[in-house]
Amino acid sequence: MTHAPVRATIVGAGGLGGPIALSLGAAGIELTIFDHDVVELSNLHRQIQFTAADLGQPKATRLAGLVVSRGGNARGVVAKWRSPAELAAELAGYIDESDLIVDGSDDPETKFAVADWAVANGRQYVIAAALRYGGNVMAGVPGVACYRCLFEEPTSDGPTCADAGVLGPVVGAIGGAAAAIALGLVHGHRGLAGALLAFDDLREVAEPRIVRFAPRPGCTACLRAPIPPFATHLRIAGDR
Amino acid sequence: MPSIRVPSALRTFTGGLADIETAATTVREAITDLDTRHPGIAARILDGSGAVKPFIRVFVGPDDIGELSGLDTKIGERDEVSIVPAIAGGTGA
């Protein structure tokens, strides 16, 4: 008896997308990798999946090629989205190839677009972000509070890598955590769904703080969800 | 004494300090106290009307203050107030 392969879409092929794609690809998940950038010299200290030989090449196809070279199944999509709507339109073409979607992008609007798309299409998803010495990972499944319940809307006022920077190894750690959680979702482990893992400063503490949040009344993403979030949520055993 | 956990991204305001003790008894007082000692940080957490900005969540222990009493949530001696901003990053910059 054989099982249909699990298929995942990864948005972002950089510092976070690299470890996510390599981990999921090595685990036998079929990948579609979206990115719209090319490899630059300034990327290499933290996007360690790339080498100088990749400079100027599209990240999506180079990362997909690396996954394939390690025995995985992946293809890169050099996407052109410039807005959340355009990204949603591009993702729509791959809906049948996405049991799971993982965001490793570097801008807030893309993260919201990925989460909204996953909620609207009833897909599991993981949103990963890294900044300075830490980062956040959030896992979502149909029926729980979503990323937009948590942070409501993107902003240009929040801290970015441009003003705060990011330590190279941090993206590897956050990407690895996102991949582990994604694999957990694939195998039915939903204990972290609807929770945010906040890694504050990986130079000092490797363990994340885990916080949970409730569905937000009036959340525009949840209103479009095929399975709306439950009115209550579970707390982690042992909390307070 | 309660403490405030300042996220890495906002520690430029606190000179790198991550944990700051406060004598405050509510979350609102804690943020005010934080801003008194580290001017400008409250403007990164609260909007012009004094509400928590949409892309920031504040927790007391593991509990979202939105499920408690918001900024008027009381904090006790052993509580930790965590400020968790939405962040992006990983490929750019």
Tens digit of each residue's pLDDT (9 = 90 or more) over A179-193: 999 999 999 999 899
Mean pLDDT of A58-87: 93
Contact B57 A166 (CB under 8 A): no
Query: Alpha helices of chain A — where are they, by DSSP H?
Result: 17-26, 59-69, 84-92, 108-120, 147-151, 161-164, 168-186
Give me the pLDDT at residue B35, please: 97
pLDDT surpassing 60 at residue A142: yes
Choose among A2, A85, A76: nearest CA to A34: A76
Kindly report the CATH number that applies to the domain delimited by B3-85: 3.10.20.30
Which residue among A13, A106, A175 sits closest to B92, beta carbon to beta carbon?
A: A106
Strand partners of residue A13: none
Q: What is the pTM of this model?
A: 0.88
User: DSSP string spanning A184-240?
Assistant: HHHTT--TTBTEEEEE--TTT--SPEEEE-PPPTT-TTGGG-SSPPPSS-PPPTT--
Give the Cβ contact number of residue A211 at 10 Å.
23
What is the percentage of chain A residues whose pLDDT exceeds 70?
Answer: 90
- pLDDT category, B25, cuts 50, 70, 90? very high
Q: Which residue ranges make up each domain of chain B?
A: 3-85
Give me the pLDDT at residue A95, please: 79
Choose among B60, B56, B80: nearest CA to B69: B60
Q: What would the two tokens of residue A229 be?
A: 């979030």
Contact B63 A105 (CB under 8 A): no
Q: How far is B45 from chain A (nearest CA, A)?
A: 10
Rounded Cα distance between B6 and A67, Å, is 38
Contact B54 A130 (CB under 8 A): no
Give me the pLDDT at residue A2, please: 58
Architecture per CATH, domain A7-224, reads as: 3-Layer(aba) Sandwich (3.40)
pLDDT tens, B50-84? 999 988 999 998 888 988 999 999 999 999 999 99
Q: Which residue ranges make up each domain of chain A?
A: 7-224
Give me the pLDDT at residue A225, please: 84
User: Looking at per-residue confidence, does A217 or A128 come out higher?
Assistant: A128
Range in A108-122, A145-159, A172-186, A213-227 with the lowest mean pLDDT: A145-159
Give me the pLDDT at residue B58, please: 94
Rounded Cα distance between A1 and A21, Å, is 27
Which residue among A132, A174, A211 sits closest to B9, beta carbon to beta carbon?
A: A132
pLDDT surpassing 90 at residue A171: yes
For residue A16, give Cα distances in angstroms to A5, A43, A48, A113, A161.
23, 12, 10, 17, 13
Closest chain A residue to B60 measured between Cα atoms?
Answer: A211
Mean pLDDT score across all residues of chain A: 88
Contact A155 B8 (CB under 8 A): no
A236 contact residues in B (CB cutoff 8 A): 62
Give me the pLDDT at residue A18, please: 97
A151 contact residues in B (CB cutoff 8 A): 54-57, 86
Q: Tally C-beta pairs within 8 A across A and B.
A: 152
Contact B8 A200 (CB under 8 A): yes
Strand partners of residue A10: A33, A102
B44 contact residues in A (CB cutoff 8 A): 157
For residue B66, give Cα distances in angstroms to B53, B58, B63, B83.
12, 8, 8, 13
Contact B57 A211 (CB under 8 A): yes
Give me the pLDDT at residue A164, please: 64
User: Looking at per-residue confidence, does B36 or A98 come out higher?
Assistant: B36
A171 contact residues in B (CB cutoff 8 A): 90
Which B-chain residues 55-84 have CB contacts (< 8 A) with chain A?
55-57, 59, 61-64, 66-67, 82, 84
Which residue among B18, B57, B87 sits closest to A131, beta carbon to beta carbon?
A: B87
